[in-house]
Amino acid sequence: MGASSPEEYGDYFAWGEVEPKDVYNWSTYKWCNGTNTTLTKYCTNSSNGTVDNKTELVPEDDAAYVNWGENWRMPTYDQQTELRTKCTWTWTTQNGVNGYLVTGPNGNSLFLPAAGVRYDSSLYYAGLWGNYWLRTLGSSYPYYACSLNFNSGDVYSGSNDRGYGFAVRPVRVSQ
Q: What average pLDDT does the chain have?
A: 96
What is the domain extent for residue 63?
A: 57-172
* Structural domain contains residue 66: yes
Q: pLDDT digits over 123-168, tens only?
A: 999 999 999 999 999 988 999 999 999 999 999 999 999 999 999 9
* Structural domain contains residue 117: yes
Q: Within 13 A of 168's CA, how many CA atoms are on the CB side?
A: 31
* Structural domain contains residue 94: yes
* Structural domain contains residue 34: no
* Structural domain contains residue 36: no
Distance CA 39, CA 92 (A): 39
What's the number of domains the chain is made of?
Answer: 1
Distance CA 31, CA 18 (A): 12
* Structural domain contains residue 63: yes
Q: pLDDT digits over 74-88, tens only?
A: 999 999 999 999 999
* Structural domain contains residue 116: yes
* Structural domain contains residue 41: no
